[in-house]
Structure 1
Amino acid sequence: MTTPTPPPAPAAPAPATPTPPPALRNFYENPAVPVASGDARSRRQARLLARALGPVHAGVPPATILDIGCGDGTAAATAANTLTGHRVIGVDWSQDALRRARTHIRHVVRGELTDGGLPFTTGAADAVLFSEVIEHLVDPDAALDELRRVLRPDGHLLLSTPNLAAWYNRGLLLAGIQPVFSEVSLRGIHGRPGTQVVGHLRLYTARALRAFLTASGFDVIRITGAPYHDVPRPLRPLDRAACHAPSLSSILIVHARPHSNNHTP
């Protein structure tokens, strides 16, 4: 007499992406918290994407572009002016941010990178703008997985984030001073220049960002730089010049595409 084989144990559920704690969510709901590093970054990022997508013309449908973490919509509106003819959709988890975004852009959708993912089908987007969001995330790995899911296999990711290794941060660290963009508290700035608390949890150098994106299933096409609007006026020519060496620039802008071997034919 044979002993029946027991049924296999059910697979353990996949771990959920951590949800930011309520205090952090409340912090980002505050309209006084700055949401972008300036129009220069938005324009540069949009120009890179416009060149990648090409113009809209007869027989070619407009691209669907998701601005994920659109905030108040001002950056998306700046991008839309460059991406003429394409469809820009602002996406944010904050209802307050979306109310403000509706005054700047036509299409807005509530969505989160956590709690079930974005409300779009796999491969729905031709391009994703991910502007100065990644430095605020508890789980950036899961976020990049979700961005890769909603992108078409031949889609484009335009990601921007402050540069930990910006030219002035190198000097500050040598002097034993906390670098700009880094924060040790949500209540105030301690040990570094500046006055704005914006909730940065993670910071990247150009090398680290390239390696992280590659490990997350993207091919990095190009990394370029953008200036930071809050640099003191006398130093702004230096800040603009540093953009020619992205590893020294204030803001990193990355153009990446999903690895071709991530998708089956």
Structure 2
Amino acid sequence: MEKTNPENHNIAITSPIANHISHIVAKISKIIAEPVKNYLDLGAGSGYITQIIVNILKPSDIYVVDFSEIALKELKKKGFKIIKADLNSEDLSKVLPKEYFDLITSFEVIEHLFNPDNLLENVKNLLRPGGYLILSTPNLASWANRLFLLMGLKPQHYELSLKYKVGGLGHNA
């Protein structure tokens, strides 16, 4: 696991998706009783959603976890504290303080893990009592995925192989 420190995380983001996510996070911020000081994003990817949440909730201590070297380089440029870790197997409480985070997010990650229990165990160890978890995953029963299944194809956003793209549109089954 690799850990580095932030420099700057004030980046403006505008797009229809950003506006939609901003609207959702603004609603969530009304539910959260206390200010979010310590924030962790598991599987942050490009940091796009992380940045939207940071812009709205303004946490002071921001960590992101990802496995991709490319993503981590970009996240570091954005000023986040980065940790390289495999969410399938690594115990993040070895490098992060236990029961520290006011908010932990994980967007569209858990469905890609072959050991999702490890992600949830990390959340249990790192989230402070009374803290918040925001986790999202694609809807297997969406109309698009129903069509894929009717055509004998793999639903979108669900991985069958760690090595090959299998069974989706444009891929051999």
Aligned to 1:47: 26
| Alpha-carbon separation, structure 2, partners of 1:168 and 1:162 | 11
Counterpart mapping for 1:250-261 below 5 A: none
Please give the secondary structure, in 1, of the residue aligned with 2:137: strand
Residue 178 of structure 1 and its aligned partner are, at CA, apart by 3.2
Number of residues of Structure 1 aligned to a counterpart in Structure 2: 151
- Is 1:155 aligned to residue 128 of structure 2? no
CA deviations 1:33-63 (Å, max 9, x no partner) are xxxxx6467435533542232575xxxxx52
Counterpart mapping for 1:165-180 below 5 A: 165-180=141-156
Residue 144 of structure 1 and its aligned partner are, at CA, apart by 0.3
Counterpart mapping for 1:130-145 below 5 A: 130-145=106-121
Aligned to 1:80: 54
Please give the secondary structure, in 2, of the residue aligned with 1:162: coil
Q: Which amino acid aligns with 1:88?
A: I
Aligned to 1:187: 164
| Alpha-carbon separation, structure 1, partners of 2:67 and 2:141 | 30
In structure 1, stretches of 5+ residues that fail to align are 1-37, 57-61, 196-265
| Alpha-carbon separation, structure 1, partners of 2:48 and 2:24 | 14
| Alpha-carbon separation, structure 2, partners of 1:164 and 1:194 | 20
| Alpha-carbon separation, structure 2, partners of 1:178 and 1:131 | 20
Q: Which amino acid aligns with 2:25?
A: A
Change (3 A) 1:172 1:85: closer
**Conserved in 1, the CA contact under 8 Å of 2:63 and 2:81?**
yes
**Conserved in 2, the CA contact under 8 Å of 1:126 and 1:156?**
yes
The structure whose RCO (Cα within 8 Å, separation 6+) is larger is 2
Aligned to 1:17: none
Please give the secondary structure, in 2, of the residue aligned with 1:193: coil
Q: 2:92 aligns with which of 117, 120, 129?
A: 117
Aligned to 2:7: none
Change (3 A) 1:143 1:170: same
CA deviations 1:60-119 (Å, max 9, x no partner) are xx5211112212222211221222355432223444322211223x33131534334342
In structure 2, stretches of 5+ residues that fail to align are 1-16
Q: 1:101 aligns with which of 53, 75, 78?
A: 75
CA deviations 1:220-255 (Å, max 9, x no partner) are xxxxxxxxxxxxxxxxxxxxxxxxxxxxxxxxxxxx
Please give the secondary structure, in 2, of the residue aligned with 1:102: helix
Residue 133 of structure 1 and its aligned partner are, at CA, apart by 1.5
Change (3 A) 1:94 1:176: closer
CA RMSD in angstroms comes to 2.8
Please give the secondary structure, in 2, of the residue aligned with 1:158: strand
TM-score (norm 1): 0.48
**Conserved in 2, the CA contact under 8 Å of 1:66 and 1:125?**
yes
Higher CA-based Rg? 1
| Alpha-carbon separation, structure 1, partners of 2:148 and 2:46 | 32
CA deviations 1:134-169 (Å, max 9, x no partner) are 112121112201111100110100001111111222
Q: Which amino acid aligns with 1:115?
A: E
| Alpha-carbon separation, structure 2, partners of 1:83 and 1:70 | 17
